[in-house]
Structure 1
Amino acid sequence: MSQSTTNTADLAADYYLTNFQFLVDWVSQRYADLLSADELHFLACFQQLPRTSQCLLVRLSSRKGPLFRYDKLHYAEIESIEQAATELIAVGLLSDNALLSIDEAANLLTKAELLSLFMEHLQGAKQARKEELIAQLSAQLPESKTWEDWTNHQLGKTYRLDNQAIISTLLLLFFGNAYQDLTEFVLQDLGLYRYENYTIDHQHRIFKNRAELEQYQQLIQLRDELQLAAEVEHLANLANRIPAQLNHAGLQRRRARLCNQLAYELERANKHTLALQLYCQSHLPPARERRIRLLEKQGDIAGAWQLLGEVLNSPCDEHELQVAQRMAPRLAKKVGETIAKQTRAPVIEQQLILPQLVDENNNILRVEEVVRQFAHTDESPCFYVENLLLTGLFGLWLWPEMFRGIDGAFANPFQAAPLDLYQENFVNNRPGIQQLWQLLDDNQHHDHIREFWRDKNGVANHFVSWQFLEQELLDLALQTIPAAHLKAIFKRLLFDIKSNRSGLPDLIQFFPSSNNYRMIEVKGPGDRIQDNQQRWLDYFAANTIPAEVWYVNWQ
């Protein structure tokens, strides 16, 4: 990503309000027809508030709530917290004097304050943790009171913010997911990231109707409950609450992930029948792998063998294929079948004994850098690239299709990749990828990649590290790596982008005089080849792509 020397001191004191206003305007323009009466009321009230009250609302929304102590609120850009809060209370966006349980009140207090206010109710107080003190109070004081009554009017007032659900809905509509938040705006303001100018319009919006939005929120709620579920009965209850099959591809994918997560917990709890039912409802890995294992455990060897054949013939991703290949000999023996033993193409290996080196600060260099220096010459330069070079070339080659306006791909202006990047229909939704293959077949990919490297430099792309992909490295790669090799590598990346973007060799060495190159995986003392690295090495060997493994011991 393009970096900037700008820091937070360069932002206006109320930058967060400008960002939130951008979000509000964006959602209002694109999703007004999906908003509930309460959400529309919130937006209308927010727009009419004085700026300081808007600032306070956004500040509180970004903090852990819903309760806030007045004496803990200090913002330089808000001259009077009390006045700003009063205006929020007047329009119903904030409340005070709410009735609180002792748990709610106690969680706002420090341990010292608890001891001062409730010493007569507490035993072993000085040695106990705050949580233990709250438990004691909860057992003795079941009634509800206002904050002022609980604290004997010693600690001012509290405010309750009850519209976090509305703000969460606005964030979900804006980002199209539940993991991005307003910090994305800060990165943009600081000049850390610039984003592609892709198409976002009413036709391609993520949620087409209110039902889809609520289904997404239901799945998120079930996922959050699953993370806290400890009892088998709770797990079974969650299984009964999972919605039926959904028509929206993104929602169906999220539902499948939830089925997998819940099924795995049920499997661990020895509820194999219910776990198997849930795995059968998921099209995502590792559902088929887990079904095979459960069928085998239940004695249905024929069913396990049949399903294994389906996986081997049509794997969803690299890991599923690798696991299936490992299970095949055991199941084949149980059903009396024979399978051809897989043979790997040989991978060139070297054993090196090298001296350990240090940098100018006397820090010991990584083994990869020691090997890079050992291999590097002016005529045959060697670079540490790991997962950045080939995936960077891939991102530049794929750029026009990656950022094409596809239904459900882009929700907001802050995306370095489409939302469907890791979905199984990513390639099928982009028939233009066929034209990109033709560029490689015709050896015309050099100009295409260079054009996007030049024209988009600094624009956020999930695969491209601009600081790393300098022109010298780009030129050497395009000069020495044949189009056929890039095509083979790009095909494997597209087959399983999420898994295959890692595991690539540490180093690449170029031989410009002969238009040749080699990749080098470095293993120091005691290190071994990881599964994802082995899959790449096997693939390189099968496609005659030059890759070697160098094992290093120290002198």
Structure 2
Amino acid sequence: MTHATTPPDLAPDYYLTNFRFLVDWVAARYNDLLDKDDLAFIQTFQQLDHPAQCLLVRLCSRKGPLFRQDKLRYPEVDSISNAVQTLLDAGLMQQHLPISLTELAASLTRHELLTLFEKPLTGLKQARKDVLIQTLAASHSEPQTWQNWTRNQLGEAWHLDHQAIVSRLLILFFGNPYQNLTDFVLQDLGLFRYENYQIDHRYRLFKSRDELEQYQQLVALRDALDGEHTIETLQQLGEQLPPVSDNERLQRRRARLCNDIAYKLERNGNHEAALQLYGQSHLPPARERRIRLLEKQQNYTAAWALLNELLATPANEQELQIARRMAPKIAKKLGHPLLPKTVGFIIEQQLSLTPLHNEAGEILRVEEVVRLILNTETAPCVYAENALLTGMFGLWLWPEMFRGIEGAFANPFQAAPLDMYQENFVSRRPGIDELRSLLKNGDYREHTLRCWQEKFGITNHFVNWSFLTRERIELALHCIPASHLTLIFERILFDIKNNRSGLPDLIQFFPEQASYRMIEVKGPGDRIQDNQQRWLDYFAQHSIPAEVAYVRWQ
């Protein structure tokens, strides 16, 4: 069976069709959240002729705000100069605006800088571009027009700066700052296909302009956090956080940003400011970091109280695992007794192996070496890691994962519902109980294979279609008991974000015995990661066949 298709040819103005769709969608759903500048942009855009619309959308997808005439070449726009004039007349593009040296330099090559500023840069022909800019900044601080800066040597340049409006339209459409018009193109080309889920048009991610602006503020602060910062600039970012919101998505994003800023403050030695920001977050690892900071301050009583709160109400297994690891040291400081640690029995084996090479002479990864040694015709061994079991989980969960419920889907390009990682994901989908019954009555095999057949190639957060072949699924369904799949799926459901990873590297199947085993491979110097340890402990607790192979080279 083949699912290969030939990518379609795209129309020359495919991007304009997509942008029009986005604009119409946002205008229909969020018209009351758009301000006068947004509405004016949309109205003016819709009144432009076709070539001007094409050029505007092309430029909005490029880095601006300055665009040089000699850099604009689009075959589908017959006359760039006519399209530019239309945009100038409409007020969507400007000419002769004063620009800074930094803005100028961003639109020039190093060679062009040396040519335009030959005298000030004498003796610096081999210098980097940033050095040239620093040298010029001392004597060229006043903004000038492009024509004055370049003395009309490099043709015309125009100013277009609608990125803030376009970014706002994209956020309203996608509901996140990561997706963009590329998602349209990937679907147009057939590279990505999305489930035809129901979008609840009554539900809106943003209920007010204030929520939208707070979301944009959080996105901007997160972008500003990248790179190096002093304690002062980190504190300034913390002070710019918007207030606590009733909007759950806003509050989660705010809490994550609190954690990120606090961690950088902690790394820079400002523990008090870090504690204050961690205290504003309800998401892990805020409580863990607070405990560690209180411990550093030798405030063991407060650390112990917070640790016991965490042990009583952990957000997830990862937080609980870390808390149990911290408990003995703090308890010892306070003279408190601890319950004995329970340890599950995990099978381990030591392997002394010779490195293997591929046809190009490169050393194979240790997991692949072990797989090749174990793999036989009657006992195939697959490098699966998180692709097989989580992929089967995605197929099993498919009907409920893509069920159209309030707040789950905001746009046609989602690989998962918006609440996938929220604590109430399962409780909001009572249909999951019906899927559980399939595992009990044996119908899960037919259900899984039917989903594979009907949904092949459709984007799913858990499914890697290039790995998840029908043959591998049939082999897994034959060898892995329903009781084991039930336990594995339930643990993923309990904490989807953390438990979708950490599964063992290899799975070896024994079709004749209808059995299997999972193997976590560790090379020299490698150790078991926390999420892997939690899975191994779970397997040991429930008698699911899993082991660790420690490899040393001979």
Other-structure match for 2:455: 456
Paired residue for 1:280? 279
State the Cα distance separating 1:338 from its structure 2 match: 1.7
1:429-508 alignment to 2 at 5 Å? 429-508=428-507
Secondary structure of the structure 2 residue equivalent to 1:119: coil
- Please name the residue that 2:295 is paired with: 296
> Which residue of the partner structure matches residue 415 of structure 2?
416
Which residue number in structure 1 is paired with residue 331 of structure 2? 332
Give the aligned partner of residue 47 of structure 1: 46
Offset from partner CA, 1:449-496 (integer Å, 9 cap, x none): 223222212211111122222222212222222222112211221232
The CA distance in 2 between the partners of 1:107 and 1:505, in whole Å, is: 48
Asked if 1 retains the 8 angstrom alpha-carbon contact of 2:200 and 2:406, the reply is no
Q: Deviations over 1:425-452 (max 9, x none)?
A: 3223323323333333444322322232
Provide the rounded CA distance (Å) in 1 between the counterparts of 2:281 and 2:41: 38
**Structure 2: stretches of 5+ with no match in the other structure:** none
Offset of residue 123 of structure 1: 5.2
Larger mean Cα displacement after TM superposition, 512-521 or 116-125? 116-125
Q: Which moved more, 1:376-385 or 1:46-55?
A: 376-385
- Give the aligned residue type for 1:274: A
- For residues 225-264 of structure 1, the C-alpha deviation after alignment (integer angstroms, 9 at most, x for no partner) is 3335723333323322222210010000001011111222
Residue pair 2:175, 2:410 contacting (<8 A) in 1 also: yes
Conserved 8 A contact 2:354-2:553: yes
1:256-283 per-residue CA deviation (whole Å, 9 max, x = no partner) reads: 0111112222223333222212111101
Rounded to whole Å, the distance in 1 between the matches of 2:3 and 2:97 is 46
- Spell out the pairing of 1:337-348 with structure 2 (5 A cutoff): 337-348=336-347
SS at match of 2:117: helix
- What is the SS of the residue equivalent to 2:202? helix
CA-to-partner distance for each residue in 1:479-525, whole Å, 9 max, x for gaps?
Answer: 22222211221122123222222221122222233332211222344
Letter in 1 for 2:158: Y
1:134 maps to 133
**Structure 1: unaligned runs, 5 residues or longer:** none
Q: Is the deviation greater in 104-113 or in 228-237?
A: 228-237
Change (3 A) 1:355 1:58: same
Distance of 1:198 and 1:440 partners within structure 2: 25
1:520 aligns with 2:519: yes
Whether the 8 Å contact between 2:44 and 2:90 is mirrored in structure 1 is yes
CA 1:5 to 1:98, structure 2 compared with 1: closer, same or farther past 3 Å?
Answer: farther
Matches within 5 A, 1:66-85: 66-85=65-84
1:244-255 matched pairs, under 5 angstroms: 244-255=243-254
1:86 CA displacement: 0.7
2:110 counterpart letter in structure 1: K
Cα distance, 1:344 vs. partner?
2.1
- Is 2:165 aligned against 1:166? yes
What is the distance in 1 between the residues matched to 2:416 and 2:74?
Answer: 36
Task: Give 1:356 shift.
Answer: 4.7
- Say if 1:507 and 1:521, in contact at 8 Å, map to a contact too: yes
Contact map agreement 2:396 2:447 (CA 8 A) in 1: yes
CA distance in 2, matches of 1:77, 1:42: 23
| Worse-matched range after superposition: 37-46 or 113-122 | 113-122
RMSD: 2.3
Alignment of 1:257-268 (within 5 A): 257-268=256-267
Distance 1:368 1:262, change over 3 A: closer
* Contact in 2 for aligned 1:121/1:137 (Cα 8 Å): yes
Three-state SS of the structure 2 residue aligned to 1:245 is: coil
How many Å apart are 1:354 and its aligned residue? 4.6
Q: How far off its partner does 1:203 sit?
A: 1.6
**CA displacement 1:371-391 (0-9 Å, x = unmatched):** 334333343333221111110
How far apart, in 1, do the equivalents of 2:116 and 2:10 lie?
A: 42
1:528 to partner: Cα distance: 3.3
Q: Distance in 1 between matches of 2:354 and 2:275?
A: 55
Structure 1 distance, partners of 2:403, 2:269, is: 46
Q: How far off its partner does 1:301 sit?
A: 1.1
Q: In the alignment, is residue 194 of structure 1 matched against residue 189 of structure 2? A: no
Given that 1:3 and 1:191 are in contact with CA atoms closer than 8 Å, whether structure 2 keeps it comes out as no
2:138 is paired with a residue of what secondary structure?
helix
Q: What is the letter of the counterpart of residue 407 of structure 2? A: G
CA contact (8 A) 1:509 1:519 kept: yes
| Closer, same or farther: CA 492–65 of 1 in aligned 2, 3 Å | same
CA contact under 8 A between 2:97 and 2:145: conserved in structure 1? yes
Tell me if the contact between 2:94 and 2:159 (Cα under 8 Å) persists in the aligned partners: yes
Q: What TM-score do the two structures reach when normalised by structure 1?
A: 0.93
Q: 1:162-212 deviations in whole A, cap 9, x for unaligned?
A: 211110011101111001111111211111111111111322232222222
- Pick closer, same or farther for the CA change 1:545–1:117 going to 2, 3 Å: same
State the distance in 1 between where 2:239 and 2:549 align. Answer: 53
Provide the residue aligned with 2:90 in structure 1.
91
* Alignment CA distance shift 1:521-1:125 (3 Å): same
What residue in structure 2 maps to residue 305 of structure 1? 304
Pick which of 211-220 and 100-109 moved more: 100-109
Give the secondary structure class of the aligned counterpart of 1:350.
strand
Q: Which residue does 1:396 correspond to in 2?
A: 395
- Structure 1 window deviating more from structure 2 (26-35 vs 362-371): it is 362-371
**2:204 aligns to what?**
205
Task: Identify the residue that residue 542 of structure 2 maps to in structure 1.
Answer: 543
Per the alignment, in what secondary structure is the counterpart of residue 204 of structure 1?
Answer: coil
Which AA in structure 1 matches 2:467? F
Alpha carbons of 1:334 and 1:553: their partners in 2 closer, same or farther (altered >3 Å)? Answer: closer
**Is the contact made by 2:200 and 2:404 (CA closer than 8 Å) also made in structure 1?**
no
Matched AA of 2:134: A
CA–CA distance in structure 2, aligned partners of residues 233 and 461 of structure 1: 42
Decide whether aligned partners of structure 1 residues 367 and 131 sit closer, same or farther in structure 2, where only a CA change above 3 A counts: closer
Q: Which secondary structure state, in structure 2, belongs to the residue aligned with residue 197 of structure 1?
A: coil
Give the aligned residue type for 2:146. W
Mark the CA change 1:383 to 1:109 in structure 2 (over 3 Å): closer, same or farther. closer
What CA deviation, in whole Å up to 9, does each residue of 1:507-550 have, x standing for no partner? 22222333322112223444433332222111111111001222
Question: Which amino acid in structure 2 is aligned with residue 301 of structure 1?
Answer: Y
Distance 1:112 1:472, change over 3 A: closer
Residues 527, 272 of structure 1: CA spacing in aligned structure 2 closer, same or farther, 3 A cutoff?
closer
The alignment partner of 1:340 has SS state of coil
Deviates more, 1:55-64 or 1:226-235: 226-235
Instruction: Please tell me whether the aligned partners of residues 7 and 190 of structure 2 are also in contact (alpha carbons under 8 angstroms).
Output: no
CA distance in 1, matches of 2:204, 2:69: 40
- Work out the CA distance in 2 between the residues paired with 1:267 and 1:464: 37
Counterpart Cα distance in 2 of 1:438 and 1:55 = 53
Deviation beyond 6 Å, 4+ runs, structure 1: none
The equivalent of 1:368 in structure 2 is: 367
- Residue deviations 1:327-371, cap 9 Å, x none? 111011012112123232222223334555555666554443343
State how far apart, in whole Å, the 1-side matches of 2:270 and 2:550 are: 46
SS in 2 for 1:448: helix
CA distance in 2, matches of 1:217, 1:411: 17
1:25-40 alignment runs, 5 A limit? 25-40=24-39
1: distance between equivalents of 2:160 and 2:417? 34
The alignment-based identity, stated in percent, is 61
8 A contact 1:176–1:206 mirrored in 2: yes
Q: Distance in 2 between matches of 1:296 and 1:22?
A: 55
Alignment pair present for 1:61 and 2:60 = yes
DSSP 3-state at the match of 1:548: strand
Question: For residues 354 and 119 of structure 1, do their structure 2 counterparts lie closer, same or farther at Cα, with a shift above 3 Å needed?
Answer: closer
**Cα displacement (A) at 1:156:** 1.1
CA distance in 1, matches of 2:510, 2:140: 78
For residues 167 and 399 of structure 1, the distance between their equivalents in structure 2, rounded to whole angstroms, comes to: 33
